[in-house]
Amino acid sequence: MEQVLSGCPNLECLKLECVLGIHRLEISTVKLRELSVVNYDDDNDLWLEIIAPRIETLHLFGPFTEIRIDQRNVASLVNARLQGFESQKSPSYLKELLHSVAHVKNLELGSGCIECLSILELSGWRFPPSSREVLELSVAFEQLNFSGICSFLESSLDLETLVIKWDHESETELLSNFTNEDEQTRRFETHHFNGSFPHLKTIKFLNFYGSVLPLVKYLLKHAIVLEEFVITAAFLESDVSPDYDIMALEFLSLTRSILSAC
């Protein structure tokens, strides 16, 4: 790999897919700005250490609990996409990873990461403060996830844009071993946040399927400079979300009450 990189001084984007046998990836080329690592899963549980102080975009997809990143080694990172994380492997690994990318401006998390966030929140772990401005989450719209999502958002006070997308293939099987929907609903209803999101201007719910009204209420309450709110429903086999009609009426009523209070 060192020979490949040294022989391509003008390389700007590098994608490694199903690559094994590399345990230290050091990128010092000046022009390389984007790195993707897809399906790295070493059978011997050996770590892949990434040292790439100049890259600006990092995409990890598939099993990546054997990948180690230190924030000092990705100091120029602006964009990070973490997708395909296997939540059952190690929720504690996500702690380390979140510290490593806390400085990025744009962060995208897949549904496996979201489930781990909820498990970490249940354990009482406090998410590290971040400087992210754009956050995109792929989630299963279930009450099980709401407390974890909100606690994570509360570590993102510089946030300007929030996008939450429904992942129709996502399930919360691991999380259901720690709690249940009734318990999480009670926890979310009593969740207290003293602060606000002073920079959050854009919120988008894309392809939602199920009830997201509790999460919507929470965001509208704390997004004090909100300028744009977009919500679109998903269709499965010509069927709209079962709560869509009811939620549409409640949402309109909610926005009217907020406007009246302003």
pLDDT of residue 260: 56
* Axis-axis angle for helices 143-153, 111-122 (nearest 10): 80
Residues of the chain with pLDDT under 70: 42-45, 86-90, 141-144, 168-181, 184-185, 188, 190, 209-210, 234-248, 250-252, 254-262
Domain boundaries, the chain: 78-261
Say if CB 81 and CB 105 are below 8 A apart: no
Beta strand pairing call for 57-61 and 34-38: parallel
pLDDT of residue 52: 94
Give the other-Cβ count within 10 Å of 164's Cβ.
23
pLDDT of residue 157: 94
The pLDDT tens digits of the residues spanning 206-258 come to: 887 667 788 888 898 899 999 999 888 766 555 555 566 666 676 667 665 55
pLDDT of residue 86: 67
Please report, as a single letter, which amino acid is at residue 169.
E
pLDDT of residue 261: 54
Beta-bridged to residue 107, according to DSSP, are 80, 135
pLDDT of residue 214: 82
